[in-house]
Structure formats: C-alpha cells, structure tokens
C-alpha cells in the first residue's frame, strides 16, 4: 500500500529536476508545468491507476479522485477502500475494509508521501530528466520525458519514471514508474478541473459517518 500511496502523490505536484546539456527542453517543460499547477486555487481530478507485472501475469486497474486546495488535499480510491485527507496540519489515512483511520501530524515519516508541498523535493537533488520525443495523439501533441535516479539515490525501487505532458495546456497526462522488481505503476488523468468551489470540510475525516470506526491518533 505504501508504494500505491507514493505514486498517487505524483498527482499533487510536479517535478523540479537537475538538468543536463541535452535535457534543457525537458527541464523547461517540467518547470512550466510546475509553475502552472501552483497558480490554481483548487484542483479536482479523476484518474486511473494501473499496476502491472508481466512476469507474474499481474494487471490491475483502479479509479480514483483527487481534490486540492492550497496545502489541503483529499484522495479517494474506492476500489482499494482507501481515503486520505489532510487539512494542512494533520493527515487521516482511512482504510475502509478495516474500518480504521490513522491520524498523523503533517511532516512525520510516511505522511510526507502525500504532501503536495514537499513530495517532489525528492527529485530536486536526485533525478536527471531526458527529453524523449513529441508525439501526436488524438489531435494533440504530447511530450514524453524520462526521469532517471542518480547514483546517490540508487536505493529507490524503480529504474525510471516516464512522464507524458500535454504540450498545449502544460498539464500532466500520464506517468509510469518502472520498478526494479518488474512491477510498473501508472497514473492517467481522465478528467481535470481547476478553480472550482471546494468546501474545507472535504479535507477533514468525519468519524461520525462511519459507525464503530477505530481511531489511531498518533499526533
């Protein structure tokens, strides 16, 4: 589940990476995408997540939704029984199948995986970006970029991340992490809306909605 949480976090921010002489086009596009995302007051998105491993004949697909408002966020994946809430101070991880919610302070180990303000600080000092190609799909132009971990962080569990950006609107279209164990995690944005009204209550877990929910408050 921790791996799933990590890769969903790609939806909440974008990447700032270290450049190379032959990667300036990729760096420029990633920075433009980052800057555009930060301009939105709120974000609402629907996405599909895939988990694939050809060696063990595994192929899964799960749908989810994302809400963001400043440093607040809410991710829901009904297929997995997973909901994550943050009001910018605390994080609620709710596992519906166990009827259990774990509450942590924002900034604690593990919690940062979902923090849109900090998730991509990992990549500021550890990833190289390579421009691959511009490809036409459905009448649009998509830029394909690959991110490779540098030797200093070769303990990560994936070999590279493929990122696809809509060159016209500078929005993330999809990405795929290629795991060293043969397991690939992918996210594809199905619907994206910005600057819509979102109630702050949507970013706080309401225990009253779940009968006999077990609460583990670690704050």
CATH, residue 153: 2.50.20.10
- Helix H or strand E segment including 30: helix 24-39
What is the mean pLDDT of the segment spanning 82-92? 91
Instruction: For residue 110, give both structure tokens.
Output: 């593990």
Predicted pLDDT of residue 155:
63
Domain encompassing residue 190? 2-217
* Nearest by Cα to 80 from 53, 119, 51: 51
pTM for this predicted structure: 0.79
Alpha helices for the chain (secondary structure H): 2-8, 24-39, 121-124
pLDDT in tens, 37-72: 778 899 898 999 899 999 999 999 999 998 989 888
What is the Cα–Cα distance from 3 to 102, expressed in whole angstroms?
A: 17
Provide the edge-to-edge strand list for the sheet that holds 82-86.
Answer: 127-137, 140-149, 158-166, 171-179, 184-194, 42-53, 58-69, 72-77, 82-86, 90-95, 100-105, 214-217
Instruction: For residue 130, give both structure tokens.
Output: 């390579």
Between 119 and 93, name the one with better pLDDT: 93
Whether the predicted pLDDT of 193 surpasses 80: yes
pLDDT in tens, 6-21: 555 555 544 444 455 4
Overall domain count for the chain:
1
Between 190 and 12, name the one with better pLDDT: 190
Look-up of token digits 């971990």: 149
Between 94 and 158, name the one with better pLDDT: 94
Between 18 and 173, name the one with better pLDDT: 173
**Whether the Cβ atoms of residue 190 and residue 61 lie closer than 8 Å to each other:** no
pLDDT in tens, 154-164: 566 778 888 89
Predicted pLDDT of residue 126:
63
Whether the predicted pLDDT of 189 surpasses 80: yes
pLDDT in tens, 26-39: 777 877 877 787 78
Q: How confident is the model at residue 5 (pLDDT cuts 50, 70, 90)?
A: low
* CA distances to 8, 62, 79, 150, 195 from 177, in Å: 11, 16, 21, 15, 29
């Amino acid at each position: 589940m921790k791996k799933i949480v990590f890769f969903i976090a790609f939806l909440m921010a974008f990447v700032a990476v270290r450049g190379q002489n032959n990667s300036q086009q990729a760096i420029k596009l990633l920075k433009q995408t980052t800057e555009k995302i930060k301009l939105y007051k709120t974000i609402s998105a629907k996405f599909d997540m895939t988990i694939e491993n050809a060696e063990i004949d595994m192929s899964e697909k799960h749908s989810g939704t994302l809400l963001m408002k400043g440093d607040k966020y809410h991710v829901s994946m009904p297929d997995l029984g997973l909901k994550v809430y943050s009001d910018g101070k605390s994080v609620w991880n709710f596992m519906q199948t166990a009827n259990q919610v774990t509450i942590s302070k924002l900034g604690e180990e593990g919690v940062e995986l979902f923090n849109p303000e900090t998730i991509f600080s990992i990549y500021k000092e550890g990833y190289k970006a390579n421009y691959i190609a511009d490809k036409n799909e459905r009448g649009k132009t998509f830029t394909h970029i690959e991110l490779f971990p540098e030797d200093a962080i070769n303990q990560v569990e994936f070999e590279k991340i493929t990122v696809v950006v809509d060159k016209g609107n500078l929005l993330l279209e999809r990405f795929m992490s290629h795991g060293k164990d043969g397991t690939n995690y992918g996210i594809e944005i199905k619907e994206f809306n910005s600057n819509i009204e979102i109630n702050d209550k949507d970013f706080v877990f309401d225990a009253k909605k779940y009968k006999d929910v077990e609460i583990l408050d670690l704050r």
